[in-house]
Amino acid sequence: MKLERVTKPVEKRDRWYDDACGMALAMDLIGERWTLIILRELMYGPRRFGEIRREVPGISANVLTQRLERLEETGVVVREKLPPPASVQVYALTEWGRESEAMMATLGRWAVRSPLHDPTLPLSGAALMMSFRTMLDPGRAEGIDAVIGFRIGPDSFTAHLHDGGLDVARGEAEAPVLTFTADEAGAIAAAVYGGADFDSLIRAMMLKIDGDRALADRFVTLFPLPAKVA
């Protein structure tokens, strides 16, 4: 039976795979260099153009513009305008675009098993939050119900640990029981994934912890990394 096309397709570009496999289509939609990184930066809330570029310093303004336009064309990203007094244009993921997080988490968990993974490289606040959602061990987090704030450079995130899961959104946490503050996400990652001592990071003025210190000590144990491949 011949399949009938029921929606007008997005105009294809020269390098599309022309393959019926869903994975091939995914690569057509979001497989270009930088595209997944842009999606990561938009995952927990809208961002201005300059904010995206700040967190993805290797991308040029021209390439970022091209990728955002393409993501709009394919229905992954939408442009919005913040209400007054901001009244500025931001980029946000559509509901369908946000569904890509599960795929990105699976890909990230698979990739960190490589010996080539270098956890000391720079990472953004959004990357750190995504790593937490990806690596969280529900069993270790059992019984915790807590709102935790993260201030990473100019960005803020609210994380809610509950029912063995972790919800994340951009913005200042309201009445958090624990807040981590750092100029760089890597300082927090060093404690969670690298076994760095909290007190050493605090003395070096790389990290500040406010609130429930016992919860902070437990928090760093919730995200075991998978074993490396041989």
193 within domain boundaries: yes
Tokens representing 166?
């972790």
pLDDT of residue 16: 83
Task: Give the pLDDT band (50/70/90) at residue 80.
Answer: very high
Is the model more confident about 117 or about 5? 117
pLDDT of residue 14: 62
End-to-end CA distance of the chain: 47
- Type of residue at 88: V
- Determine whether 225 is exposed, middle or buried from the number of CB atoms within 10 Å of its CB (0-12, 13-18, 19+): middle
Q: Say yes or no: 130 and 207 in one domain.
A: yes
Is the model more confident about 10 or about 202? 202
Q: Say yes or no: 171 and 201 in one domain.
A: yes
Residue 98 has pLDDT above 60, yes or no: yes
Instruction: Give the domain extent around 37.
Output: 22-104
79 within domain boundaries: yes
Q: What is the mean pLDDT of residues 173-196?
A: 96
Q: What does the alpha-carbon distance between residue 4 and residue 14 come to, in Å, rounded to a whole number?
A: 23
Q: What is the mean pLDDT of residues 176-196?
A: 96
